[in-house]
Chains A and B, each alone.
Chain A
Amino acid sequence: MTTPDQPVVDLDGVRFRWPGQTSDTVAVDKLQIHASEHLFVRGASGSGKTTLLNLLAGIHTPTAGTIELLGTDLATLSSSRRDQFRADHLGVVFQQFNLLPYLTTLQNVALACAFSRRKTERATASAEVTATVHRLLSALNLAPELHSAPVAELSVGQQQRVAVARALIGSPEILIADEPTSALDADNRDRFLDLLFAEVEAHGCTLIFVSHDAALASRFGRSIELSEAPSVRPTAP
């Protein structure tokens, strides 16, 4: 699907405008992200970060311009094919509340494979899904006794690491992290980032890290600023 020098993510003249709005919520003229790159996207709240994420994840389609992921123009896919594309090739970590409270740690991580045969195949290449999940959780410094615990018993820091495990299982090409450290204190944040980088590198994953906190930018190979949005997206009903 991709040749080595082809960008993993390629945005060209992308505009997004909510119906009824007079200006664009997202305006990205050109953005290319290459394989294994770690990109830091800085944007204040209201700068269209979330909308950009939804565009990259294939949930929204741009009003104008093209978004190509791994050489596939998302606009050419039906919405259910885009959902499947996301299931197969993307991992997502949110700011908080990434986990389903009624599942255990292990079930939460394994759930990512439930919607993607590709991820299941890649996660079971060397061992069973459960074994892979255990390995991944241990690599992210989560003690074995936490693996079968209800997620409510985990600290916020631990929950964020479980979310990283879920995003990385099945080795997707792209990992999108939306303010994953904003609920963590400085110590936890640094340790979280160390583990995140280590695992992202181990999986050969392209990382797109969105945050308002410019102080984090120094840890990334490349950093861009999301232009101030001329309009604010309407609040969801």
Chain B
Amino acid sequence: MTLLRIALKSARFRRTSLLLTIFSLAISVTLLLGVDMTRKEAKSSFLNTVSQTDLIVGARSGPTNLLLYSVFRIGNATNNVTWETYETIAAMEEIAWTVPISLGDSHRGFRVMGTTSDYFEHYRFGDKQPLTFDGGEQFVDVFETVLGAEVAKTLGYELGDEVVISHGLASAEFADHDDKPFTVVGVLDRTGTPVDRTVHVSLAGIEAIHLDWQDGARSALTIDADQVRKFDLTPTAITAFMVGLESRATTFRVQREINDFAAEPMSAISPGATLADFWRSISAIEQVLFVISAFVLAAGLLGMLTTILSTLNERRREIAVLRSIGARATHVVLLILLETLLVVVAGCVAGVAMLYALFAIARPVVSRRFGVDLGFSWLDPTQLTIMAAVILAAVLVGLIPGFVAYRRSIQDGLGVQV
């Protein structure tokens, strides 16, 4: 107890160099835990993006590409699926429901997705959670839109506001479908998935705004918003569609059947399996990050070693005084170890504090840029183990100055010349 009090007071007396050491250890701890935490949060958010959907079907392409553009709105489809093919497949008896999606347009940086009311009925995320409305309701009319939570919040839209959709993904002035604005009729609750950053309209709406467009440009013949309603707005093609099966047991059979579809080259993927595969493929990066953080930790521990070794010189008098009043050489070692422990525990506490502060700052940015929601969670057993390992490593490193101090206190005894 006395020794702890001495260690605390002595450390406070030399706080400047020790605070710097604590700070550098805190950075290592933040990095180590941050990498682990980001990985887990990103993974759970990622894997929770789509649930209850058995298959995602699109034109023939790699599974990852299909997954990225259909679910994460990243990248583009290589080709479209014709409406006839969609209707043929949707009519298969094993299939319970389908949700067609049509991508390609955008609104001020957010992707526009054409779909049907089935989307609101069947789409599930996280733990089988359905989409719910923060305000308003589904679109019914051709020129109505439902916004994801992030879209409404970022752009400040409210129910009744008008939204002009841009052709393609770059928002260039001349390519706006400004003759046919959409009215906001619904805003969805936050989901922590790419849905939050999506502008939803009906397939008919997508068809309507492109009626007087050809090959990506306005045609000479313009058709205004009212006239459009007189046309048949059934799309000729869609980008992809989600499939729910009557029975999960038929997944592989249906998947094979679609992949072998004769009339058109198609790909059907199981979103869960593809997400897991994709995650595995990027986990190498995460391992590299972990190794880098481990090296940063090693540097932090070496810094601590240097600091404590260098303070031993200025502490020779202190140690001789303690020895003169009866402190044993082992007390001296303990004193150094206590200081090491003090520094590393303070470093861990500061590191965890920095970690949570950083997460609080990074959360909205990551959510906006990547559609991945970093949730808040307490340290899990792995992270606590990492921290325990850091403390143990520090104490082991602390044995070095401890041993030096031990040797010296035996050698010097009471006679340190100053």
Contacts and interface: CB of A to CB of B under 8 A. Distances in A.
Contacts of A112: 325-326
B10 A94 contact: no
A178 B407 CA distance: 23
Nearest to B2: A114
A116 B331 CA distance: 14
B328 A80 contact: yes
Interface residues of A, number: 34
B415 to A, nearest CB: 3
Contacts of A166: 325
A132 to B, nearest CB: 16
B10 to A, nearest CB: 6
Contacts of B323: 59, 83
A111 B329 contact: no
B413 A59 contact: yes
Contacts of A96: 418
A95 B9 CA distance: 24
B324 interface: yes
Interface string B318-330: 1011111111111
Given A80-B328, A83-B327, A83-B328, A99 B413 contact: no
Interface in A116-131: 116
Interface string A149-185: 0000000000000000010000000000010000000
A102 B7 CA distance: 10
Interface string A77-120: 00110011011101010101111111100000001101110000
Contacts, number: 85
B326 A50 contact: no
Interface string A210-237: 0000000000000000000000000011
Contacts of B411: 236-237
B325 A111 contact: yes
A83 B326 contact: yes
Interface in A50-70: 50-51, 53-54, 57, 59-60
Nearest to B8: A102
A57 B324 contact: yes
Given A112-B325, A115-B326, A116-B326, A100 B318 contact: yes
A87 B2 CA distance: 15
B330 A86 contact: no
A88 B326 contact: yes
A88 B327 CA distance: 11
A50 B415 contact: yes
A92 B326 CA distance: 10
Interface string B59-80: 0000000000000000000000
Q: Which of B317, B412, B413, B416: most chain A CB closer than 10 A?
A: B413
A236 B408 contact: yes
B325 A87 contact: yes
B12 interface: yes
Contacts of A84: 326, 328
Contact of B330 (A80, A102, A115): A80
Contacts of A99: 321
A171 to B, nearest CB: 14
Contacts of B407: 237
A59 B414 CA distance: 8
B74 to A, nearest CB: 59
B413 A60 contact: yes
Choose among B12, B328, B329 the residue with the greatest number of A CB atoms under 10 Å from its CB: B328
Contact of B9 (A80, A92, A103, A115): A103
B378 interface: no
B167 to A, nearest CB: 73
A236 B412 CA distance: 7
B410 interface: yes
Contacts of A97: 317, 321, 418
B13 interface: yes
Contact of A53 (B13, B328, B415): B415
Contacts of A80: 328, 330
Contacts of B410: 59
- List of 10 A-B pairs having minimum Cβ-Cβ separation, nearest first: A87-B326, A50-B415, A59-B413, A115-B326, A102-B13, A54-B413, A92-B324, A114-B2, A83-B328, A102-B9
Interface of B: 2, 6, 9-10, 12-13, 317-318, 320-330, 407-408, 410-418
30 contacts: A50-B414, A50-B415, A53-B415, A54-B415, A59-B413, A59-B414, A83-B323, A83-B326, A88-B326, A92-B325, A92-B414, A94-B320, A94-B321, A94-B324, A94-B414, A97-B317, A100-B10, A100-B318, A100-B321, A100-B322, A102-B13, A111-B2, A111-B325, A112-B325, A115-B326, A178-B414, A236-B408, A236-B412, A236-B416, A237-B407
